[in-house]
Chain A
């Protein structure tokens, strides 16, 4: 969760103090555990996985050979991988847009002053609920709700196999993810709304702006930085979503809900194609890094 950027403080002029070497070495002691952990469990694994992507089948073979870009060519011409890219794009973009729209609508409602503070507090808790459940719980819950004999079909008077029909499964998992993920947007946008100075609205009202005009010309511009940050964060997270898909459809039926994450997992742990899986994992890493780059640049611009 990249929620802030720690910018080093400008160092105050150094006071002449005990200029012992201990004083200068001290900070390294404080950061040592962090550096050790991140080195062993972050830097090393990334180097390894990048290495794997240039080898022929690693882990399964004793002496893997360097094969250059063969794995990249193979994965990028793999039909299922391309399907997974398309599904991930659909799933991610639809989810993020819906998270934003629902999150903003709920934040506006919760920020309304016509309702008493206590009532708003109760609704706020209800609205945050979906976000507090882990993916495994959300998956079994929606499998029950979307069961052919389940309550959703009863309410819609339909008789549909939501999660196992090739036409509906991708829409269904996307809907579940929308339900599970909007609260994070909502919380941030609510905080943003509460930070908008009231006199901006007063000025707009004096100028004769309608509520809609006030929303478009005051609220949205004021929230824009938060909306951009949150959207980029959400794009990063949603494109990496694994557990929810894995436990609702497992990528099926016939790959219609296969995501980059689930396909990578299958390549590694059910087909034991560790080199191809690593190649796919490296491509996912690149995608995330590009998004993260934009996020960091946007945050810097805001400061």
Chain B
């Protein structure tokens, strides 16, 4: 099955007119076809493993609750309806979860980008004392387990008056998104020649001008990839959203899904509909910015 997985992309060379060439060519073509069928079969099996649960989630969101566990299970039932979606989108309490998630995630993304761009500029273009220790700090905080911070945060947020508020969650998420954003942006700035911004600075313009007028506009691909990643982290976060908010009107989508689960009866179709709705922003962002995103994600782990 692994045959020819590693063929370099090269056009098939033109057949040479040697004796027995056609025979060999036919055998080769047959083997190639077999490999192709094998690889396709494996791909489809893998796609079933990865995609079938997601497809089932989508299908279930259009069923009535009584049909969810029908035996034998059916993908599309007779009572196909959008009722579950309507129920969720007309319930102000549930719409509020989405508003909260959008407000927090967009704010985290914007603030993280601004703060990270400033820091990355300093790391990329300046020499200063404590650069190395700060560097090590930024790298190492990424390994700090969320659960370790959770206990002191609880007290800290109450003390700072940020418990159960937007700013409380926004600042918390920034702690988790900033290090990666700074590292990625510094790497990006380092690929841009210093002459670009040095020239402007020598002409008497300030560093801020050089950064925002020159560097930032040409760093858009890097900024997009960091932004998408940051948004995803904030949108999907669960542990701190659970612990640092208290009232129903401050809860985010992941907690909203859990609250649905904890209700008196299990409305599976509504849970699935809310899961789909709650996943759309990330899915859309990913599909649109796939190339940037994967490029940004792997640039650190894969050194060419």
Q: Residues of A contacting B36 with CB < 8 Å?
A: 114-115
A28 CA to B174 CA, complexed, in Å? 20
Interface size class for chain A? 35 or more
B150 touches A268 (CB 8 A): yes
The reply on A92 being an interface residue by CB < 8 A is no
Q: Residues of A contacting B68 with CB < 8 Å?
A: 144
Q: What are 25 residue pairs bridging A and B, where the CB atoms are less than 8 Å apart in the complex? A: A2-B143, A4-B187, A6-B135, A27-B127, A37-B174, A37-B175, A45-B152, A59-B155, A112-B5, A113-B9, A123-B43, A126-B47, A126-B50, A132-B279, A134-B235, A144-B68, A188-B297, A212-B2, A219-B6, A236-B143, A243-B238, A246-B238, A261-B145, A288-B148, A302-B303
Q: Rank and list the top 5 A-B pairs by shortest CB-CB distance, nearest first.
A: A4-B300, A3-B300, A292-B143, A198-B8, A134-B236
Of all chain A residues, the one with the shortest Cβ separation from B268 is A144
Q: Residues of B contacting A52 with CB < 8 Å?
A: 151-152
A-B CB contacts (within 8 Å), total count? 329
What 0/1 readout, one digit per residue, does chain B (123-160) give for beta carbons within 8 Å of chain A? Answer: 11011100110110111111111111111111110000
Q: Residues of A contacting B56 with CB < 8 Å?
A: 141, 144-145, 151
The reply on A75 being an interface residue by CB < 8 A is no
Q: Residues of B contacting A44 with CB < 8 Å?
A: 152, 156
Contacts A45-B149, A242-B147 known; A269 to B123 CB distance under 8 Å?
Answer: no
Q: A137-B254, A188-B302 are in contact. List 16 more A-B contacts (CB 8 A).
A: A8-B132, A12-B194, A30-B207, A34-B182, A35-B134, A37-B178, A44-B152, A46-B148, A52-B152, A127-B50, A134-B278, A137-B275, A147-B69, A225-B303, A242-B147, A281-B151
What 0/1 readout, one digit per residue, does chain A (199-226) give for beta carbons within 8 Å of chain B? Answer: 0011000000001101100110000011
The reply on B172 being an interface residue by CB < 8 A is yes
Q: Contact partner of B46 among A30, A109, A201, A292, CB < 8 A? A: A109
What 0/1 readout, one digit per residue, does chain B (255-273) give for beta carbons within 8 Å of chain A? Answer: 1011011000000100110
Of all chain A residues, the one with the shortest Cβ separation from B114 is A33
How far does the Cβ of B48 sit from chain A's closest Cβ, in whole Å? 9
Q: Contact partner of A269 among B124, B243, B302, CB < 8 A? A: B243
The reply on A229 being an interface residue by CB < 8 A is yes
B147 touches A281 (CB 8 A): yes
Give the interface of B toward A (CB within 8 A). 2-9, 32, 35-36, 39-40, 42-43, 46-47, 49-51, 53-54, 56-57, 60, 68-69, 71-73, 115-116, 118-119, 121-124, 126-128, 131-132, 134-135, 137-156, 171-172, 174-175, 178, 180, 182-184, 186-187, 190, 194, 202, 207, 232, 235-236, 238-239, 243, 253-255, 257-258, 260-261, 268, 271-272, 275, 278-279, 282-283, 286-287, 290, 294, 297-304
A61 CA to B3 CA, complexed, in Å? 67
The reply on A48 being an interface residue by CB < 8 A is yes
Q: Contact partner of A296 among B134, B139, B257, CB < 8 A? A: B139
B119 touches A30 (CB 8 A): yes
Chain A binding surface SS class: helix
B57 touches A141 (CB 8 A): yes
How far does the Cβ of A18 sit from chain B's closest Cβ, in whole Å? 10
The reply on A54 being an interface residue by CB < 8 A is no
Of all chain A residues, the one with the shortest Cβ separation from B255 is A136
Contacts A114-B7, A126-B47, A137-B278 known; A38 to B32 CB distance under 8 Å?
Answer: no
Contacts A135-B238, A211-B4 known; A34 to B115 CB distance under 8 Å?
Answer: yes
Q: Contact partner of B123 among A8, A45, A48, A128, CB < 8 A? A: A8
The reply on A73 being an interface residue by CB < 8 A is no
Q: Residues of A contacting B146 with CB < 8 Å?
A: 240, 242
How far does the Cβ of B196 sit from chain A's closest Cβ, in whole Å? 15
Q: Residues of B contacting A5 with CB < 8 Å?
A: 139, 183
